[in-house]
Chains A and B, each alone.
Chain A
Amino acid sequence: MRFTKHVITSICFNPSNLAQSQDYDQIENALFLKEQEKGRTLLVRKRWVARWLVCLFTGVGTALVATVIEVSIEHATEFKFNVLRKLINWCDSGTCMALPMLAWIAVNAVLVFLGSLLVTYMEPQAAGSGIPQIKCYLNGVKIPGLLTVRALLAKAVGVILSVVGGLACGKEGPMIHSGAIVAAGISQGRSRLFKKDFKIFEYLRSDTERRDFVSGGAAAGVSAAFGAPVGGVLFSLEEGASFWNQSLTWRIVFASMVATFTVNIILSAIHGHASDLSNPGLISFGRFSHITYEAIEIPLFLVMAVIGGLLGATFNGINGKLTVFRKKFIKRKWLKVLEAVLVACLSAVMAFVLIFTVDDCVENSEGHETDHSHMNCPDGQHNIMSSIFLKTPEASLISILHGKNEDYNMLTLGIFSVMYFMLACWTYGLSVSSGIFIPSLLTGAVWGRLFGMAVIQLFPESIGDKDLGKYALIGAACHLGGTVRMTISLTVILLECTGDITFGLPIVMVLIIAKWVGDLFNTGLYDMHIQMMGIPLLPWEPPEMSYDITAKQVMNSPVLTLNTTEKVSRIVDVLENMPHLHSGFPVVEKAPTDGEASPSSSETPSLESFGRCKGLILRSQLCLLIKHKVFSAANGDLVRVSASLPASADKEVRLEHFRDAYSQDIPSVNLEISEAEKDCCIDLQPYMNPSPFTVTMTASLPRMFRLFRGLGLRHLIVNNDKNEVVGMVTRKDIAKFRQNAKVGKIQVQELQIRQE
C-alpha cells in the first residue's frame, strides 16, 4: 500500500440503517471498578435524585408536546371544516358541488403532502404510530433515529398535518412515541441535532437507564393522550416494557400523573378556566354517567366481541398483505409521499361522495348548525353523514358514543362503518405519522351502535335501558381489542376515559373474547408490523418444543476473536472488513501448548476453538480506543503484555469517554493512522468486559433464550469444556426460531436473514 496514512472515517458507522441490539450488560472492566471506588455514596444519591427529576420533566415535557398537538389540531380543523361547511352551504342552491369537493381534496392533499414529506425525508422512523418501534426498543433493539429530536419534530408536526389533512388516523399513537422521545432526550441531557450538551444527567447515559426512562415516557404519552394515567402505566407494562421492576413502576406512575395533570392545567387555562382541572387528556370519551346493563345483555356483548375479533383479524390480515406489497414495490421515497397524497385525496372523495349521495336526513333537533351541513336535505334538516364527516375522527367518535338514539340512521351507520374500516386499513402503514386507536374505536363505535339498533328492533321488549351509547362503547372496545389485542391496558384506558367503573366487567369480557377470536387467525397489529420490519424481537417465552435445539446448532461458528494484546493494524482491519453482523468480539488468549488447534482452523470446523476466553470487547469500544490512540509501542512483540502498558492509557481514556460515546456514532473526525501507529499494540484487558456471559455447547435454545430475555444480553459466548471459545450467539440467532402455529399444528420454524 502506497499510502502512508490510512483514513478510517466511516468504519464505525453502521454500514446500513439496521437495528442493533442494546448493551444492557454492565461492563465491569478496570475503569468501571476504579470509578466505583471513589465517591460512591454521593453518586448513588445523585443518581436517585436525577431519576426522579427526569421523570418529572418527562411528564411535563410530554404534556407540553401533547397540548401543542391538541390545540393546533383543534384550531386548524375548526377552521378547515368551517370553510368547507360554508362552501357546501353556499353552493347548496347552485350547480357547483364540484367546487367544495375539489377544495376539500386540495386541502387534504396539500396538508398530507407536507406531513408525508416531513416524515419520509426527515425521519422515516416517525412513520406510523411508533408503538411497534418503541416496543422493539424496550425489548432491547436499538433502532437508529427512533429517539431523536428530529423524529419528535417529524412525529408531532406530522401528526398535526395528517389529522388536519383528513386521514383516517388519530393522534394518540404518535403521542406515545413522542413521550418516549421526550424521556430519552431529557435523560441524556443533550441533543445531537443541535450539537448541544447540557452536561447534566451524564451518569444516566447508559442503555439500561435510558430504557427505563423510555418506558416511563411511553406511559406518560398514553396518559397525556387519553387522560388515563393508570392506563398509561399498564400500557407500558403490557405492550412496551420487556424489563420491569417495582421501583420503576412507581416512577412511571409519577411521570404519568404529572403528564395528565399538566395537560389538565394547560388545557384548562387555554379554555379560560385555569383553576378548573376538569380537562382530562387530549381525548376523553365523555363521561358515561349512568350506564346500566342487565344480565340479558351480556350474551349480546359477547356476540359483539366475536364480531370485533373477526373484524380485527380481517383488518390485520388486509393490512399485512398491504404492508408486504408496500415493502416490495413502493420503495422510493417520492412514491411513498405520492401514495400518502393519494390516500388523502381518496379520503376526501369518499367523505364527500358519501355526504352527497346518502340522502339520510334528520331534523335539526337543536337547530344549531354546529357541525353538519344540510346538503341534499330539505331546509330544517341536516345530513347525518355530514355530521360524522365534518369533524375530526375524534369528535365523531365522541358524538357517536354520546349521540341520541334518533340522531343516526342504520343506513348511514352501515355504509360509514364499511367505508371507514377500509379507509383506516389503507391508511395504516403509510409514510405519515398516524395512530390506529381512534379509527379503530370509531369504526367499532359505529358498528356497535348499529348492532344496538338491530337488537332494539329485534327485541324491543327485553332490553331495559335503550341507550345506544353503551353498545357503541362496547363495539369500540371490541374492535380495538380485536385489532391491537391489548387487554389490561385497554380496559383501564377505556374505564378511565369513560369514568364508569360499573362497566368494567363487560369491557374485560369482550376484550378477552375479542383477543381470543382474533388470535385464532393472526397476531396483533403491532406484533405483525414488528415482524414485518424484520426486527429480532424476543417475546416473553421461548418457542415451545425447542429443547432439542442446542447452542451447537444455533451458534455462529468461526468467530472473529481478538487477542488480549492486539496489533492496531489487525483491529483496523477487523473493523473495516468485518461483516457488520457482529459488534462484539471475544478476547482470547491463545494457549501456547495447544499446538494442533491453530492449523486445523479451517479443516475441521466442528471442534475448532479459538483460544481461551478472557473477555468480550465491543465494537464501539474498539472505535473509541483507536480514536483516542491508546497505543503502546509493542514492536510486534505480542507477548510483552505486562510492562508495556503505561498509565497514560488510563489518563487518556476514562469511563466518561465511553459514556460520552454512548448512543452516539463516533463523530466523523478524520482519524488518521499512520503506518507506524499500525504497528503498535493495544492492550484490551483494561477495557474489555472480563466476565462475559458464556454457555457450553450443550445449552438448549430455551435456556439461552431466557438468558437473553432476562438479562437483555447482546452477545453470548459459547465455550467448550476447556473454557475455549467455539462460537458466539447473538440476539438474531435466537430470534430466528419462531413458534409457528398453523391451525392445529405447532412447530418451530427457523427464519432466514435477508440482506437488503
Chain B
Amino acid sequence: MRLESSLLCFLLIFFKIREFNCTASELLFSSNLLDSGEGGVPQFSQSSEDLLNDHGFAKHLEESLSFVTESTPSEIIVSSCTAFTNYYGDLAANFTQCAIRNARPLKFCEHCVDVYVNSLNVYRLIMEGSIMTTSNDRNVTCKKILLESDRVQIVVKTAHFIQGLWDECDCTNCFEYTQSGNGTITSYYPNNDTLVFLDMNEQAKNCFKNFSGDFDIYGQRSGNNTVCHDCEVEYHALSLFYDKLEEKEHREVCMDVVDAMNITRMIWSQQFQCRESYDDQVLVLTLAGVFCLLPIIFYIANMAYGARVNGQLIRQKRLRDIQSSETSSPDESLNVINT
C-alpha cells in the first residue's frame, strides 16, 4: 500500500497536478494520523520517522522516480524534495487550523499535539539533511535547497512559528516524551499531573452543572443556592492542586491547564459570586491607625522633650573696625556652617 501511494504521489508531482498533491501526501501518511486517535489520550505508536527512515520507502521512491522519468532528472530531484515540503505544508496548515480552532477556550496543547509532533519530526528529517537528491549530477541535500536558495526561507519561518506557538503555551510541560537516539519523538502522552488536574477540573465542573439552574441567562444569581457551599470541597481541592502545580513547574504550567483553571475560577467567583467577605477589615484598619499614630507621637514627644542643643556662634577673629560694621543676621541652622 505504501509503495503504491508513494508511487502515486510522485507521479502526480511529476506531472505537476498540484491539486492532487495534498491528497497524495495525505494518503501517504494517513495511517499515522489515524493511529493517534481522536482526543483523549493519544498514544502515538508508530511515528512518521519510522516510516520515512524505512529503507523500503526511500528505495522505492528512487526506483519509482528513475523508472518513470529518466529523461529529465533534475525535475525529479526537485520533486523528491517537494514531496517532503508538501507534506510539511499540509502539517503546518493543519497545525494552524487546529491552533485557531482551539484558541478559545484554550485546548491547544491537548488537541494539537499530534500534528505538532508530526510536523516536528518531518521538519527534523528535512533539516538533518538525510534526504539526498542529485541536482545537476551533484549530491545535494534537501536542506540545502530549502535553506540556501532564497532569503525568505519560508519553510524555516513556518517551523519557527509552529515552535514558537508551542513554546509560548508551555505545552511541553503537559506531556512526557520518549525520544529516539537522534532526537525524534517516538511517543508522547500527557503527564500525570495534567491528567489529575483535568480529572479534578471535570469534577468541579460537574458539580457546578448541578447548580446551573439557579442562574438566569445573564449569569446572575436568581435564587438562593448552595453552590458555594456544596462545591467548595471540589473547587478548593482543584485550586490548591493548581497552586502546587504552579510552584512545582516554576510557574510554567502548560496553557491548557492555566486556562482551564482561570475559567473555573471565573465561574466560581464571578458567575457564582462565591467570594469570601472579609470581616477583619475593621481590625486591619484599626491596626493601621495605631501604627500611623506612632510616628506622630514620636515626633511630638521629641519636639516637646528632645534636647534642643543650639551651639553657640563662633565669632571670627577679624580686624576690629571691620568686624563692627559687618554683621549679618544668623539665619536658620540650615544656613549655618557648623564646626
Interface residues of A (CB under 8 A from B): 16, 18, 89, 92-98, 101-102, 105, 320, 324-325, 327-332, 335, 338-339, 342-343, 345-346, 349, 352-353, 356-357, 363-364, 367-370, 376, 378-381, 531-532, 534-536, 552-553, 555-558, 580-581, 605-606, 727, 732-733, 735-736, 738, 749-756
Is there contact, CB below 8 Å, between A330 and B302? yes
* 4 closest cross-chain pairs (CB), A and B: A378-B269, A380-B265, A379-B265, A367-B258
**Contacts A101-B287, A343-B295, A756-B311; A557 near B317 (Cβ below 8 A):** yes
Interface residue stretch chosen among B35-43, B176-184, B319-327: B319-327
Q: Fill in one digit per residue for B121-165: 1 if any A CB lies within 8 Å of its CB, else 0.
A: 000000000000000000000000000000000000000000000
Docked-complex contact A368 and B262, CB < 8 angstroms: no
Please measure, in the bound complex, the distance between the C-alpha atom of A63 and the C-alpha atom of B336, giving whole angstroms.
38
Q: How far is the CA of A338 from the CA of B338 in the complex (A)?
A: 25
What are 5 A-B residue pairs whose CB atoms fall within 8 Å in the complex? Answer: A97-B281, A105-B291, A367-B253, A380-B269, A750-B326
Flag whether B217 is at the interface (Cβ < 8 A). no
A345 and B265 contact, Cβ closer than 8 Å, known pairs A369-B246, A557-B317, A751-B335: no
B268: chain A residues at CB < 8 Å are: 379-380
Question: Cβ of B311 and Cβ of A97 under 8 Å apart?
Answer: no
Most buried by A among B258, B262, B309: B262
B316 at interface by CB-CB < 8 Å: yes
List chain A residues, Cβ under 8 A from B331. 751
Does the CB pair B291–A97 fall under 8 Å? Answer: no
Confirm or deny: B337 has a beta carbon within 8 angstroms of a beta carbon on chain A. yes
At the interface, yes or no: B26 with Cβ under 8 Å from chain A? no
B312 near A754 with CB under 8 A, answer yes
Residues of chain B within 8 A (CB-CB) of A536 are 337
Contact residues in A for B309 (Cβ distance below 8 Å): 331, 756
Q: Closest B-chain residue to A533, C-beta based? A: B338
CB of B262 within 8 A of CB of A534, answer no
Pair B265/A330 contact, Cβ less than 8 Å: no
Report yes or no: A368 in contact with B246, Cβ–Cβ below 8 A.
yes
**Residues of chain B lying within 8 A (CB to CB) of residue A338:** 298
Contact with A along B252-279 (1 / 0, CB 8 A): 1101001101110110111000011011
Cβ contacts under 8 Å, B262 to chain A: 363-364, 367, 380
Shortest CB-to-CB span from B14 to chain A, Å, is 48
Cα–Cα distance between A379 and B311 once the two chains are bound (Å): 61
**Complex Cα gap A327–B259 (Å):** 57
Query: With an 8 A cutoff between CB atoms, is B285 at the interface?
Result: yes
On chain B, the residues within 8 Å of A381 by CB distance are 269
In the complex, residue of chain A having the shortest beta-carbon distance to the beta carbon of B235: A379
Residues of A within 8 Å of B311, CB to CB, are: 754-756
Interface status of B292 (Cβ within 8 A of chain A): yes
Is the CB–CB distance between B283 and A98 below 8 Å?
Answer: yes
| CB <8 Å contact, A754 and B337 | yes
Give B63-108 interface residues, CB cut-off 8 Å to A.
none
A residues in contact with B276, CB < 8 Å = 92-94
Distance in Å: Cβ of B304 to nearest Cβ of chain A: 9
CA distance A440 to B90 in the complex (A): 55
Q: Which residue in chain A gives the minimum CB-CB distance to B236?
A: A93
A93→B283 CA distance, assembly (Å): 16
State whether the Cβ of B330 lies closer than 8 Å to any Cβ in chain A.
Answer: yes
Q: How far is the CA of A328 from the CA of B320 in the complex (A)?
A: 33
Q: Are A96 and B338 in contact (CB under 8 A)?
A: no
Nearest opposing residue in chain A for B326, CB measure:
A553
Closest to A736 in B: B337
By a CB distance below 8 angstroms, the chain A residues around B303 are 325, 329
Contacting B269 at CB < 8 Å: which of A335, A369, A379, A753? A379
Q: Is B339 part of the binding interface, using a Cβ–Cβ cutoff of 8 Å?
A: yes
| Interface magnitude class on chain B | 35 or more
Q: Is B328 within 8 A of A534, CB to CB? A: no
Distance of A250 from chain B, by nearest CB (Å): 36
Contact A732 B338 (CB under 8 A): no
Given contacts A95-B280, A97-B283, A380-B266, contact A605 B335 (CB under 8 A): no
**Chain A residues closer than 8 Å to B322, beta-carbon distance:** 552-553
Residues of B within 8 A of A376 (CB): 278
Chain A residue nearest in CB terms to B295: A342
**Pair B275/A754 contact, Cβ less than 8 Å:** no
Q: How many A-B Cβ pairs are below 8 Å? A: 192
Question: In the complex, which of the residues A320, A329, A353 has the most CB atoms of chain B within 10 Å of its own CB atom?
Answer: A329
B281 / chain A contacts, CB cutoff of 8 Å: 97, 356
State the CA gap A96–B292 with chains docked (Å).
Answer: 21
A331 to B326, CA, bound (A): 33
In the assembled complex, B17 has its CB within 8 A of some CB on chain A: no
Q: Who on chain B is nearest to A320 by CB?
A: B334
Q: Which of B279, B316, B321, B334 contacts A753 (CB 8 A)?
A: B316
Docked pose: A335 CA to B335 CA in angstroms:
25
Tell which of B302, B313, B317, B320 touches A329, judged by Cβ atoms closer than 8 Å: B302
Are A751's CB and B337's CB within 8 A?
A: yes
User: In the bound complex, do residue A98 and residue B298 qualify as a contact, i.e. CB atoms below 8 Å apart?
Assistant: no
Q: Does B34 contact A (CB under 8 A)?
A: no
Name the distance in Å between A651's Cβ and chain B's nearest Cβ: 39
Q: Looking at the complex, which one of B259, B312, B334 makes contact with A531 (CB distance below 8 Å)?
A: B334
- Beta-carbon nearest neighbor of A580 in chain B: B339
Residues of chain B within 8 A of A95, CB atoms compared: 278-280
- Residues from chain B with a CB closer than 8 A to the CB of A327 are 333
Cβ-defined contact, A367 with B316, below 8 A: no
Across-interface contacts of B270 in A (CB, < 8 A)? 378, 380
B318 to chain A, nearest CB (A): 5
Q: Are B298 and A532 in contact (CB under 8 A)?
A: no
Inside 8 A of B308's CB, which chain A residues have their CB? 328-329
CA distance A428 to B261 in the complex (A): 44
Residues of B within 8 A of A89 (CB): 243
Q: B residues within 8 A CB of A349?
A: 287-288, 291-292
Closest approach, in angstroms, between the C-beta of A343 and any C-beta of chain B?
7
Q: Please, which residues of chain B bring their CB within 8 A of the CB of A735?
A: 337
Q: Does B310 reach chain A (CB closer than 8 Å)?
A: yes
With A335-B302, A753-B313 in contact, is A369–B337 under 8 Å at CB?
Answer: no
What is the minimal beta-carbon distance from B277 to any residue of chain A, in angstroms?
9
Distance between Cα atoms of A738 and B332 in the complex (Å): 14
Please name all residues of chain B whose beta carbon is closer than 8 Å to the beta carbon of A332 when the two chains form the complex. Answer: 307
CA distance A343 to B339 in the complex (A): 30
Q: Closest approach, in angstroms, between the C-beta of B300 and any C-beta of chain A?
A: 10
- CB–CB A98/B334 < 8 A: no
- With A96-B280, A606-B320 in contact, do A754 and B306 touch (Cβ < 8 Å)? no
A430 to chain B, nearest CB (A): 12
Min CB distance A491 to B, Å, is 30
Q: What 16 additional pairs, Cβ within 8 angstroms, besides A346-B291, A752-B336?
A: A16-B339, A97-B283, A325-B303, A328-B333, A345-B291, A349-B287, A368-B258, A369-B243, A380-B263, A732-B339, A736-B337, A752-B337, A753-B339, A755-B312, A756-B338, A756-B339
B residues near A753, Cβ cutoff 8 Å:
313-314, 316, 336-339
Cβ–Cβ contact A556 & B317, under 8 A: yes
Say whether B287 contacts A750, CB under 8 Å: no
Known: A331-B306, A342-B294, A369-B251. Contact between A556 and B259, CB under 8 A?
Answer: no
Give every chain B residue within 8 A of A353 (Cβ-Cβ).
284-285, 288
Are A552 and B336 in touch, CB under 8 angstroms?
A: no
Shortest CB distance A83–B (Å):
13
Knowing A342-B294, A752-B313, say if A581 contacts B306 (CB, 8 Å).
no
Question: Is B239 positioned at the interface, with any CB of A under 8 Å from its CB?
Answer: yes
